[in-house]
Structure 1
Amino acid sequence: MKTLSNLFQTRSLVAGCLLILFASLSFLLFGCAPNNLLTETYAKDKPVKVHRIAVFPIQRVDPDEAVDGSLRCEICGTVISVGSTEPQAEKVVEEAVLSRIEKTGKYEIVPPERVQGVYQRISATSLKSSLKDTLVKSGRELGADAILHGQVYRFRERIGYAYGADKAASVAFALHLIDVRDGSLIWKGRFDKTQTSLMENVFQASAFYKEKGRWLTARELIDEGVSGMLETFPGAQ
Structure 2
Amino acid sequence: MKRRIKWKISMLKNIPLLLGMVLILLSGSPINGRSETDHTSSENADLSTLQFNRIAVMPFLAGKLESPEEPVEKPLSQPLKQLKIDAASLAEGADQIMTRLVNDVLQIRFADKMVSKQEAAAVYAEVIRDQALDTPRKLAKKFGENLHADLVVVGTIWRFREKGTFNEMPESPASVAFYVYLMEVAGGKRLWRNAFDGTQKTLSEDVLGGLKQIKMGLRWLSANELARYGVKSVFKKFPLH
RMSD of Structure 2 on Structure 1 (CA):
3.9
> How big is each residue's C-alpha offset from its partner over 1:165-222, in whole Å with a ceiling of 9 and x where there is no partner?
8221001011111011211111112110111123212464378423322111111111
> How big is each residue's C-alpha offset from its partner over 1:66-92, in whole Å with a ceiling of 9 and x where there is no partner?
9xxx89673177x99965201111111
Structure 1 partner of 2:29: 36
Higher alpha-carbon deviation: 203-212 or 180-189:
203-212
2-structure distance, mates of 1:82, 1:209:
34
Alignment of 1:86-165 (within 5 A): 86-106=91-111, 107-111=113-117, 112-120=120-128, 123=129, 128-159=133-164
Structure 2: segments with no counterpart, 5+ residues:
1-7, 16-24, 37-43
Given the two structures, how large is their TM-score scaled by the length of structure 1?
0.68
Given the two structures, how large is their TM-score scaled by the length of structure 2?
0.67
1-structure distance, mates of 2:46, 2:146:
24
1-structure distance, mates of 2:208, 2:12:
16
Alignment of 1:43-62 (within 5 A): 43-44=44-45, 47-61=49-63
Identity %: 24
Q: Kindly report structure 1 stretches of 4+ aligned residues shifted beyond 6 Å.
A: 13-16, 79-82
Higher alpha-carbon deviation: 199-208 or 97-106:
199-208
Letter in 2 for 1:57: P
> In the alignment, does 2:191 pair up with 1:186?
yes
Equivalent residues of 1:37, 1:225 under 8 A apart: yes
Equivalent residues of 2:59, 2:121 under 8 A apart: yes
Following TM superposition, by how much is the alpha carbon of 1:134 offset from its aligned partner in structure 2, in angstroms? 3.5
Higher relative contact order (CA 8 A, sep 6+): 2
Structure 1: segments with no counterpart, 5+ residues:
1-12, 21-31
Query: Which of 142, 160, 174 lines up with 1:169 in the alignment?
Result: 174
2-structure distance, mates of 1:34, 1:19:
24
Three-state SS of the structure 2 residue aligned to 1:190 is: strand
1-structure distance, mates of 2:109, 2:98:
17
Three-state SS of the structure 2 residue aligned to 1:199 is: helix
Equivalent residues of 2:26, 2:201 under 8 A apart: no
- Aligned pair count reads 200
